[in-house]
Amino acid sequence: MIHMRDVSKIYENGVLALDHVSIDIGKGEFVFVVGASGAGKSTFIKMLFREELPTSGELEVNGHDVVRMEHSEVPYLRRGLGVIFQDYRLLPDKTVFENVAFAMQVIEAPRRLMQRSVNAVLDVVGLRDKYKNFPSQLSGGEQQRVAIARAIVNDPAIVIADEPTGNLDPETSWDIMDIFQRINAAGTTIVMATHDKTIVDTMQRRVVAIEDGHIVRDEAQGVYGYEV
Ligand code: ADP
């Protein structure tokens, strides 16, 4: 599903953000990526949807050769991925329904299929009754649930999340994690960068710890590992 071999990333300013990182993530896994601020978590996450390219090394995501692929292939890579950010990134002038439908219009889905799929994912995140609301009319947790609905509407093989609970209170964060658990139980691979020690320690999933651009720990049922 994800095969990373000896991947390094040097930014244009000379910062070595990832240093010969190798990792394999299989279908259906739930992986937390943890580490201090500046460790390289976001860089690692951004490689997966080709927001950043490795400077060297090999990376295969969902059958795509991320390093060698043509630019025209990038949309095919991204169609198989659902990406979720800390700051939700919804379109402010579109409703909940439109924000989710927009992700499908991009792939030119037939209208009836689109409506059915949008309603179904709004059910998954418990927001069907708010389909007419604009993002500004929703709480942070609700906005993140819309972002999750948008991420899963095309039935991606992998959901990639960068600090998805970073702006949320603990209770709302657990609502988000419950949704992730359900999505994962249905077979979707989840890779989530997080600072949330309680979530990581409670869920006992695979934990990959990054420090100074290196993977320093990779445990099947891990914990966050140090106090924050
Ligand atoms: P984390 O997500 O763990 O906080 P990042 O992957 O964002 O870490 O950053 C890793 C290192 O790369 C840091 O030193 C950071 O300053 C640097 N970095 C991140 N993005 C860029 C960029 N676009 N240009 C230059 N340096 C960057």
C-alpha 164/C-alpha 83 separation (Å) is: 10
Residues lining ligand 1, Cβ inside 6 A: 11, 13, 15, 17, 35, 37-43
CA 25 – CA 41 distance, rounded (Å): 15
Over its length of 228 residues, how does the chain's per-residue pLDDT go in tens digits? 999 999 999 999 999 999 999 999 999 999 999 999 999 999 999 999 999 999 999 999 999 999 999 999 999 999 999 999 999 999 999 999 999 999 887 667 788 889 999 999 999 999 999 999 999 999 999 999 999 999 999 999 999 999 999 999 999 999 999 999 999 999 999 999 999 999 999 999 999 999 999 999 999 988 898 655
Name the residue at shortest CA distance from atom 13 of ligand 1: 38
What's the CA gap between 179 and 169, in Å, rounded? 16
Nearest CA to ligand 1 atom 15: 38
Query: Which residues are registered as beta bridge partners of 61?
Result: 2, 64
Give the Å distance between the CA of 45 and the centre of ligand 1.
Answer: 11
CA 18 to ligand 1: nearest atom = 10
As a whole number of angstroms, the distance between CA 187 and CA 1 comes to: 12
Contact 210, 44 (CB under 8 A): yes
